[in-house]
Amino acid sequence: MIQSALKLPTHLFIERHTSVSFNWNLVFTTLVLVSIGLVTIASASIDFAVENFNDPWYFVRRHIVYLFLGFSASCVMLLIPTTFWKRYGWMLFFVAVFFLVIVLIPGVGRRVNGSQRWLSVGPITLQVSEMVKFCSIVFFASYLSNSQYFLQTQWKELFKPLLMLVFLMWLLLLEPDFGGSVVLAVTVGGMLFLAGAKLWQCCLLLVSGLAILAGLVWFTPYRLERLVTFLDPWQDQFDTGYQLTQSLIAFGRGEWFGLGLGNSIQKMLYLPESHTDFIFSIFAEEHGFIGAVLLLLLFIYFVFQIVLVAKKAMLRNNTFVALTAFGIAILFGFQIMVNVGVASGFFPTKGLTLPFISYGGSSLLVNCLLIALLLRLDYDLDLDVVKSSKKRGSLK
């Protein structure tokens, strides 16, 4: 746990950094994932784009636009020092609440398939829940790093961040966005545990959360239908189980080495959402079991690089950076696990994108911002070490 690591004396660690540079391992891994995502979206979306927009490259062009916006916003993010986020992170809670409220206003929020989750800014459409993920990670990292002592010594202090979390989840469920609220709960819950919440408190929260989720599923017919379909999709494979059975067929067609890039059959309007929520199925069909495993290994390495930043921050007694990095790692790791699990039939159908691979402008933008934030935090960690070593050298 993070509180134990933070008690370690810093003089036991010998800093080897004499210069400051960006985490190029993380940069390179992210660029590889982005490249794979662009190629996979181009392959998976062509037939759907021709059928609905009479333009085979419709989604590819939009994805490139969002990539450009994401990289541009990331360049700005890299200019913002860690001290800014630590000092003003509390404001992001109100930013998140503001967007969650205005998206619910009729005529302001855009309603698609019964859910009012999007805001239109000119030609750009933003999903509010994606922005809330970024705001929540930074806010709770800032809040918990400032109140860590009280969280560890006074169990009542746990209720303050919990109330704020429940409030954000409630606003998300009003859209409704069940998947976004679950992702937020898992991410912030993990950050609370790492910040010093007792094990029994976390177990109690977990049981309470599962009970609430079970209630939401039981009393919402379409969610209950999804659960029943997940248990046996072949029982109604041409209706409620259609999407999952088509996804499993894609996995089966891929066999060991796949059908080859561009040769997927399921993307030809058989598998709904083939370029978004179920893009991993198309990837597995075209690249086979071996290709799917290699992609998963790349994701594991990606998350591992983020955890290394958190570990570095722990060793240097920087609670804010450690919690932020852990929050980002939990967010990416959980989304990857759920998306792959849904596509392969291990979890009930839930609309969560596969980071940097699925088509989705808002998700791509926020993911780019999170990586840029992490790179800046990591850079400032090394910068502080260099400044401290120079200061010690001047004193000598």
Pick from 348, 367, 346: nearest CA to 303: 367
- Return the pLDDT at 394: 60
- Return the pLDDT at 147: 80
CA distance 198 to 202: 6
Say if residue 349's pLDDT is above 70. yes
- Return the pLDDT at 228: 63
At residue 238's C-alpha, the angle toward residues 234 and 241, to 5°, is 50
- Return the pLDDT at 212: 72
- Return the pLDDT at 28: 96
Say if residue 19's pLDDT is above 70. no
The residue type of 189 is G
Q: At what angle do helices 279-315 and 24-53 cross, to 10 degrees?
A: 150
Highest mean pLDDT among 40-49, 106-115, 347-356: 40-49
- 22: tokens are 């960006």
CA distance 322 to 378: 10
Mean pLDDT of the chain: 84
CA-to-CA dists, residue 330 to 300, 339, 386, angstroms: 12, 14, 29
Q: What is the mean pLDDT of residues 54-80?
A: 93
CA-to-CA dists, residue 195 to 141, 210, 380, 386, angstroms: 9, 22, 21, 27
- 208: tokens are 């309470």
CA distance 98 to 106: 15
CA distance 275 to 42: 9
At residue 318's C-alpha, the angle toward residues 312 and 322, to 5°, is 60
Q: What is the mean pLDDT of residues 376-387?
A: 82
Give pLDDT tens digits for 117-168. 888 877 788 889 999 999 999 999 999 888 876 676 677 777 888 889 989 9
**Cis amide prior to 348 (ω within 30 degrees):** no
Grade residue 10 by pLDDT with cuts at 50, 70 and 90. very low
- Return the pLDDT at 9: 42
Please give the share of the chain, as a percent, with pLDDT higher than 90: 46
Say if residue 99's pLDDT is above 90. yes
Give pLDDT tens digits for 202-225. 777 777 777 777 776 666 666 666
Q: What is the mean pLDDT of residues 358-376?
A: 94
Grade residue 282 by pLDDT with cuts at 50, 70 and 90. very high
- Return the pLDDT at 13: 37
Pairing between β-strand 115-121 and β-strand 109-112 as defined by DSSP bridges: antiparallel
- Return the pLDDT at 389: 64
Whether the CB-CB separation of 212 and 161 falls below 8 Å is answered with no
Say if residue 281's pLDDT is above 80. yes
> Order of strands across the sheet with 124-127?
109-112, 115-121, 124-127
Q: What is the mean pLDDT of residues 324-332?
A: 96
- Return the pLDDT at 77: 95
Work out the number of other CB atoms within 10 angstroms of the CB of residue 4: 9
Give pLDDT tens digits for 165-197. 989 999 998 888 888 888 998 999 889 888 877
Grade residue 391 by pLDDT with cuts at 50, 70 and 90. low
Q: What is the mean pLDDT of residues 23-39?
A: 95
Q: Is the dihedral of CA 169, 173, 175, 176 positive or negative?
A: positive
- Return the pLDDT at 22: 75
The residue type of 393 is G
- Return the pLDDT at 141: 94
Grade residue 106 by pLDDT with cuts at 50, 70 and 90. confident
Whether the CB-CB separation of 202 and 192 falls below 8 Å is answered with yes
- Return the pLDDT at 229: 67
Whether the CB-CB separation of 50 and 56 falls below 8 Å is answered with yes
- Distance from the Cα of residue 2 to its chain's centroid: 21
Say if residue 234's pLDDT is above 80. no
Say if residue 287's pLDDT is above 50. yes
Q: What is the pTM of this model?
A: 0.89
Exposure string over 78-102, b if 16+ CB within 10 A, otherwise e = eeeebeebbeebeebbeebbebbee
- 286: tokens are 């075209």
Pick from 183, 136, 208, 237: nearest CA to 352: 183
